[in-house]
Chains A and B, each alone.
Chain A
């Protein structure tokens, strides 16, 4: 295969600027797919992804384009996840490309993720060319946006294609610019094999399917491959490239190509994203740069609502992990919730996605405890604990000090909302680093924020306080010492372990108070009064009371329709079954998530 006829690229954009739609049009226009075969968005093939309109797993497709110069080109379009939770996956996908198309919304202009993604692409030495999308919108300002791109990002934008991906306008021009502006891959097919894993999926027939970019050398059926980081070795069963939504086997993959490898590997953990595949019999000298083990950033407890479903939950997690190496879990027990798992996620979105998939695809009814981050606990005896479950916090007398993870955040916002967004960041213990004005009407705010302040509802608060205009991106910066305490919740004088969480000592009172208020509304009344208390280190700092049930009576029982009355009683009884008994109080499932919604007033 002639390397000069290959173009490996991705599309980067802020969420909703039209990345997936453009991808669809590219696939459509290159003609490998008839319109009938087109699902609404070909690349986002998980049901959940389509519903939420975001891409979770990177997908890749190979298409053939006959250019105006009469030559046929192979385009490998590597789709990248669109959310900050999946930053590492994005970076590995970019590493598999030689160039990138930057999609900017003609009405919205540059947003926080636009910048973050472009910088990420430039960091990977990709050639980036811009495309202005949604030019058919009445509010489109293509010339303004062109200037903005040149001024803010510093890339040439005057000949950027003006397109409407939705209506198929200007797509030809994009295809031509891919040929002209994105460089052909380099790499020596005769050198020892060196291939970058940028994704992998588990297939019950083929085992793990590795998605890779061949940097050097070649690979085909029978090659004995080795994963350089994990050390796993297997013989290749099949290689091929990506049709739209299907795997198309081929003879071999060589330097410059993008494709897949199967080798009856049973566990995605052996094929982690970022690892280098080489030929075990003729290994390359060193692995490709940039590999890192993905760290879970957010932890929470997942419990089956019905204790008997514990084995089902375990099986479901096992299956999901086959496809998602960034999910990790280990068994834990809660006094309130019974047997469950402490699970680690890349971020809150990742958590929500897994939770939804468990509920939807595996039909599980789950109770999720408050998400938290990993705290470092330095004990007086010199021991350091990485704390993921608040219940495991040692006695305060054994703790020397604690550290929490901190992120560097960039928030892009129109100038009128700077005040309210700064206020939000202050409330969340943010440290102000600086601000850049962009085009006079917008500013880029830079803050350092504790991760545990943004995993709950920061994003929602940001949107609501800026009427949807603020956009946000962050990077993990590291750990910092912090005054943290464990907030316990007592219901009817009994501590409910699953409701405990770690909080900064200055926010403890506020959080405790709100938590009690929230729980007061969620816990059904009983025949007796139920005190709800928030406590730090055994000292009660806030209290609410669920009043005793005064009345629960059907005044009329009319017309002999007894079946209906009985149904009401049964419904009432059934509702209680789905709650969790702590002492002699029933706690409904959603109460365990209430800590997430403390700011929704």
Chain B
């Protein structure tokens, strides 16, 4: 199992809550970036030549801001330099305001077989508050177009706990989204991240109270569950067989290589990030900032706090197979305490978060730091 991530940091404008490494770039800068990424893809290819790529993910930013021609060059490079599995999942994030029939057709023809569309809300009022560049109508149009072209694996991103959002309004958003029958839904609670516009204006936002925020979260699980979606990770829901394989790679800690500024990689037990500086990236000095060869301890910590994000939880046998130590020896007493606190439970032979455990998952994860 091996995955590739391509980071496309371009945006039409920055959403007010967003703390990802992204921004507004000129056409010249975009072209220079694509060239640098092509160079990086080629340079690194040799290192991964014995691996079969199972998933590819174009994230951002807004990857759909790439021109058809730029997209084609990037996909070409992937096919030429990497061994992509026949069943590879190739996902691309998309902003509804940045694609049309022509571009979607091109993407489809290039082999991109999964779309992840950032809708966030069906209320135009909220979309404007978030600084999104599109309306609901635009979204619906592009969604239907994508279906017509043939995309059969589509994710829709929605957000809850937005400023001024009521549970009732959120329920309507979910209903509308469900009526479109996407294969996958990512439902995130808004987090006010440091350095964002929202963080600077936190006082004026009228965010829902914690109780209401949790109500929305529970509502998501209930409604999507009833509609046949399974929650497989804290914020991710999918129809059977449509869990995002690329995302799972992160939780299951299989190897992945990231390309583009700030992109993170985990290969052969070493984590690193690419440089975050755009200009430096263009010079070709892309790797590696913050290289960390994971110690056995660090790997065990990750195994726990990433594995437990998945609703199916973790398998003690797998822990033993990976680290040669028993889960009980390393974490036995901590697990006992968390079980007694009602935050963890055994589901058959798997250890999982309880509903309350999900609510305070950071606290639970923290307990697994050695």
A binds B: yes
A-facing mask of B116-156, CB < 8 A → 1, else 0? 00000000000000000000000000000000000000000
Given contacts A559-B20, A560-B250, contact A569 B362 (CB under 8 A): yes
In the assembled complex, the CB of B269 is this many whole angstroms from the nearest CB of chain A, namely 13
- A550 proximal to B (CB < 8 A): yes
- A467 proximal to B (CB < 8 A): no
- A527-B363, A559-B5 are known contacts; what are 20 more A-B pairs with Cβ within 8 Å? A527-B360, A550-B214, A551-B359, A552-B363, A554-B362, A558-B20, A558-B59, A559-B59, A560-B258, A562-B250, A562-B264, A562-B302, A562-B306, A563-B271, A563-B290, A566-B298, A566-B302, A568-B362, A569-B365, A573-B366
**CB-CB < 8 A to A553: which residues of B?**
189, 234, 358-362
**CB-CB < 8 A to A204: which residues of B?**
none
Contact B191 A554 (CB under 8 A): yes
**CB-CB < 8 A to B234: which residues of A?**
553-555, 557
- B336 proximal to A (CB < 8 A): no
Instruction: Tell me the dominant secondary structure on chain A's binding face.
Output: loop
Which residues of chain A from 509 to 537 have a CB within 8 Å of any chain B CB? 527
Q: Which residues of B contact A (CB under 8 A)?
A: 5, 7, 20, 59, 188-191, 210-211, 213-214, 234-235, 249-250, 256, 258, 262-266, 271, 273, 290, 292, 298, 301-302, 305-306, 309, 341, 343, 358-363, 365-366, 369
In the assembled complex, the Cα of A551 lies from the Cα of B301 at a distance in Å of: 22
In the assembled complex, the Cα of A559 lies from the Cα of B7 at a distance in Å of: 9
- A549 proximal to B (CB < 8 A): yes
- A139 proximal to B (CB < 8 A): no
B-facing mask of A543-585, CB < 8 A → 1, else 0? 0000001111111111111110110111011000000000000
Given contacts A551-B359, A569-B366, A573-B366, contact A561 B264 (CB under 8 A): yes
**CB-CB < 8 A to B214: which residues of A?**
550-551
Contact A551 B366 (CB under 8 A): no
Which residue, of A550, A555, A572, has the highest number of chain B Cβ atoms within 10 A?
Answer: A555
In the assembled complex, the Cα of A569 lies from the Cα of B256 at a distance in Å of: 22
A-B contact number at CB 8 A = 92
Given contacts A559-B20, A559-B59, contact A550 B5 (CB under 8 A): no
In the assembled complex, the Cα of A555 lies from the Cα of B192 at a distance in Å of: 11
In the assembled complex, the Cα of A568 lies from the Cα of B363 at a distance in Å of: 11
In the assembled complex, the CB of B177 is this many whole angstroms from the nearest CB of chain A, namely 17
Which residues of chain A from 325 to 356 have a CB within 8 Å of any chain B CB? none
Contact of A551 among B256, B298, B360 (CB under 8 A): B360
13 A–B contact pairs at CB < 8 A?
A551-B213, A553-B234, A554-B191, A555-B191, A555-B235, A556-B188, A560-B5, A560-B265, A565-B305, A569-B366, A569-B369, A572-B362, A573-B366
In the assembled complex, the Cα of A562 lies from the Cα of B266 at a distance in Å of: 9
Contact B191 A570 (CB under 8 A): no
In the assembled complex, the Cα of A554 lies from the Cα of B306 at a distance in Å of: 12
Contact of A563 among B292, B362, B366 (CB under 8 A): B292
Contact A527 B341 (CB under 8 A): yes
Contact of A555 among B188, B250, B365 (CB under 8 A): B188
**CB-CB < 8 A to A549: which residues of B?**
360, 363
Contact B292 A552 (CB under 8 A): no
**CB-CB < 8 A to B362: which residues of A?**
552-554, 568-569, 572
In the assembled complex, the CB of A546 is this many whole angstroms from the nearest CB of chain B, namely 14
In the assembled complex, the CB of A563 is this many whole angstroms from the nearest CB of chain B, namely 6
In the assembled complex, the Cα of A370 lies from the Cα of B59 at a distance in Å of: 53
Contact B366 A572 (CB under 8 A): yes
In the assembled complex, the CB of A471 is this many whole angstroms from the nearest CB of chain B, namely 37
In the assembled complex, the CB of B344 is this many whole angstroms from the nearest CB of chain A, namely 13
Contact A560 B256 (CB under 8 A): yes
Contact A559 B366 (CB under 8 A): no
**CB-CB < 8 A to B189: which residues of A?**
553, 555
- Chain B, residue nearest A571 (CB): B366
In the assembled complex, the CB of B31 is this many whole angstroms from the nearest CB of chain A, namely 24
**CB-CB < 8 A to A558: which residues of B?**
20, 59
Which residue, of A549, A550, A572, has the highest number of chain B Cβ atoms within 10 A?
Answer: A550
In the assembled complex, the CB of B369 is this many whole angstroms from the nearest CB of chain A, namely 5
- Chain A, residue nearest B365 (CB): A569
Contact B369 A550 (CB under 8 A): no
In the assembled complex, the Cα of A555 lies from the Cα of B361 at a distance in Å of: 10
In the assembled complex, the CB of A144 is this many whole angstroms from the nearest CB of chain B, namely 46
In the assembled complex, the Cα of A204 lies from the Cα of B369 at a distance in Å of: 46
- Chain A, residue nearest B251 (CB): A557
**CB-CB < 8 A to A572: which residues of B?**
362, 366
In the assembled complex, the Cα of A564 lies from the Cα of B188 at a distance in Å of: 19
- Chain A, residue nearest B209 (CB): A550
In the assembled complex, the CB of B240 is this many whole angstroms from the nearest CB of chain A, namely 23
**CB-CB < 8 A to A557: which residues of B?**
234, 250, 306, 309
In the assembled complex, the Cα of A114 lies from the Cα of B354 at a distance in Å of: 69
Contact A559 B264 (CB under 8 A): yes
In the assembled complex, the Cα of A458 lies from the Cα of B87 at a distance in Å of: 74
In the assembled complex, the Cα of A523 lies from the Cα of B332 at a distance in Å of: 29
**CB-CB < 8 A to A562: which residues of B?**
250, 264, 266, 271, 302, 306
In the assembled complex, the CB of A109 is this many whole angstroms from the nearest CB of chain B, namely 42
Contact A550 B211 (CB under 8 A): yes
In the assembled complex, the Cα of A549 lies from the Cα of B265 at a distance in Å of: 34
In the assembled complex, the Cα of A561 lies from the Cα of B263 at a distance in Å of: 8
**CB-CB < 8 A to B271: which residues of A?**
562-563
In the assembled complex, the CB of B185 is this many whole angstroms from the nearest CB of chain A, namely 13
In the assembled complex, the CB of A176 is this many whole angstroms from the nearest CB of chain B, namely 59
**CB-CB < 8 A to A556: which residues of B?**
188, 191, 235
**CB-CB < 8 A to A573: which residues of B?**
366, 369
Contact of A566 among B249, B265, B301 (CB under 8 A): B301
Given contacts A551-B214, A554-B361, contact A563 B188 (CB under 8 A): no
Contact A563 B191 (CB under 8 A): no
Which residue, of A560, A562, A569, has the highest number of chain B Cβ atoms within 10 A?
Answer: A560
- Chain A, residue nearest B253 (CB): A562
Given contacts A562-B266, A562-B271, A569-B366, contact A552 B301 (CB under 8 A): no
**CB-CB < 8 A to A560: which residues of B?**
5, 249-250, 256, 258, 264-266
**CB-CB < 8 A to B210: which residues of A?**
550-551
- Chain A, residue nearest B257 (CB): A560
B-facing mask of A408-421, CB < 8 A → 1, else 0? 00000000000000
- Chain A, residue nearest B60 (CB): A559
- Chain B, residue nearest A568 (CB): B362
- Chain B, residue nearest A550 (CB): B210
